Amino acid sequence: MTEEWKQHLISAEYALENLTHDQVSTVAKMLALEIGGYRKAHGDTVLEQAEQFIMVTEMSDEMKETFTLGMEALLAVVRQIEMSGAEKH
Protein backbone atom coordinates (compact mmCIF):
# COMPACT_ATOMS: atom_id res chain seq x y z
CA MET A 1 0.00 0.00 0.00
CA THR A 2 2.91 2.39 -0.49
CA GLU A 3 1.86 3.55 -3.94
CA GLU A 4 0.89 7.22 -4.08
CA TRP A 5 -2.53 6.61 -5.68
CA LYS A 6 -3.48 4.16 -2.93
CA GLN A 7 -2.45 6.66 -0.27
CA HIS A 8 -4.62 9.32 -1.91
CA LEU A 9 -7.58 6.92 -1.87
CA ILE A 10 -7.09 6.17 1.82
CA SER A 11 -6.70 9.87 2.65
CA ALA A 12 -9.83 10.79 0.71
CA GLU A 13 -11.93 8.07 2.33
CA TYR A 14 -10.78 9.15 5.79
CA ALA A 15 -11.35 12.85 5.08
CA LEU A 16 -14.81 12.28 3.62
CA GLU A 17 -15.89 10.19 6.62
CA ASN A 18 -15.31 13.21 8.85
CA LEU A 19 -17.46 15.63 6.85
CA THR A 20 -21.11 16.38 7.43
CA HIS A 21 -23.68 15.68 4.74
CA ASP A 22 -23.78 19.39 3.87
CA GLN A 23 -19.99 19.54 3.59
CA VAL A 24 -19.93 16.50 1.26
CA SER A 25 -22.57 18.25 -0.83
CA THR A 26 -20.37 21.36 -1.00
CA VAL A 27 -17.36 19.22 -2.04
CA ALA A 28 -19.45 17.66 -4.81
CA LYS A 29 -20.53 21.08 -6.08
CA MET A 30 -16.96 22.41 -6.09
CA LEU A 31 -15.71 19.33 -7.94
CA ALA A 32 -18.55 19.72 -10.44
CA LEU A 33 -17.26 23.23 -11.15
CA GLU A 34 -13.74 21.83 -11.60
CA ILE A 35 -14.98 19.12 -13.97
CA GLY A 36 -17.16 21.58 -15.86
CA GLY A 37 -14.18 23.86 -16.41
CA TYR A 38 -12.11 20.95 -17.65
CA ARG A 39 -14.85 19.83 -20.03
CA LYS A 40 -15.19 23.35 -21.43
CA ALA A 41 -11.46 23.57 -22.02
CA HIS A 42 -10.76 20.03 -23.20
CA GLY A 43 -14.05 18.37 -24.14
CA ASP A 44 -15.75 15.32 -22.71
CA THR A 45 -13.97 12.28 -21.35
CA VAL A 46 -15.02 9.09 -23.07
CA LEU A 47 -17.30 7.27 -20.60
CA GLU A 48 -15.59 3.97 -21.32
CA GLN A 49 -12.34 5.42 -20.00
CA ALA A 50 -14.03 6.73 -16.86
CA GLU A 51 -15.59 3.34 -16.15
CA GLN A 52 -12.09 1.86 -15.86
CA PHE A 53 -11.77 3.54 -12.46
CA ILE A 54 -14.84 1.92 -10.92
CA MET A 55 -14.02 -1.05 -8.68
CA VAL A 56 -10.53 -1.39 -10.15
CA THR A 57 -7.78 -3.23 -8.26
CA GLU A 58 -4.92 -2.78 -10.74
CA MET A 59 -4.08 0.37 -12.72
CA SER A 60 -1.74 1.21 -15.54
CA ASP A 61 0.78 3.99 -14.90
CA GLU A 62 -1.37 6.38 -16.97
CA MET A 63 -4.48 5.51 -14.95
CA LYS A 64 -2.54 5.98 -11.69
CA GLU A 65 -1.36 9.41 -12.81
CA THR A 66 -4.89 10.49 -13.78
CA PHE A 67 -6.35 9.08 -10.58
CA THR A 68 -3.68 10.75 -8.44
CA LEU A 69 -4.34 14.14 -10.04
CA GLY A 70 -8.06 13.73 -9.44
CA MET A 71 -7.58 12.65 -5.84
CA GLU A 72 -5.29 15.62 -5.23
CA ALA A 73 -8.08 17.89 -6.50
CA LEU A 74 -10.61 16.12 -4.27
CA LEU A 75 -8.39 16.37 -1.18
CA ALA A 76 -7.69 20.06 -1.88
CA VAL A 77 -11.43 20.76 -1.94
CA VAL A 78 -12.02 18.71 1.22
CA ARG A 79 -9.23 20.57 3.04
CA GLN A 80 -10.66 23.89 1.90
CA ILE A 81 -14.09 22.93 3.26
CA GLU A 82 -12.60 21.68 6.55
CA MET A 83 -10.51 24.81 7.05
CA SER A 84 -13.39 27.15 6.31
CA GLY A 85 -15.79 25.23 8.54
CA ALA A 86 -18.30 25.62 5.71
CA GLU A 87 -21.77 24.38 6.51
CA LYS A 88 -20.70 22.47 9.62
CA HIS A 89 -23.74 21.98 11.78
Per-residue pLDDT of the chain (89 residues; tens, 9 = 90+): 357 767 877 887 888 888 888 988 888 888 888 888 888 887 876 655 666 666 666 777 877 787 788 888 888 888 888 888 755 54
- Asked if residue 25 belongs to a domain, the reply is no
What global pTM score does this model have? 0.64
Residue at 11 is within a domain: no
- 63 belongs to a structural domain: yes
Establish how many alpha carbons lie within 13 A of residue 32's alpha carbon, considering only the half-sphere containing its beta carbon.
6
Residue 73: inside a domain: yes
Q: Does residue 5 belong to any structural domain of this protein? A: no
| Size (the chain), residues | 89
The answer to whether residue 68 sits within a structural domain is yes
User: Is residue 36 a part of any domain in this protein?
Assistant: no
Total count of domains within the chain = 1
- Could you list the residue range(s) of the whole structural domain that residue 67 is in? 45-89
Concatenated DSSP letters for 5-73? HHHHHHHHHHHHHTS-HHHHHHHHHHHHHHHHHHHHHH-PPPHHHHHTTTT-S---HHHHHHHHHHHHH
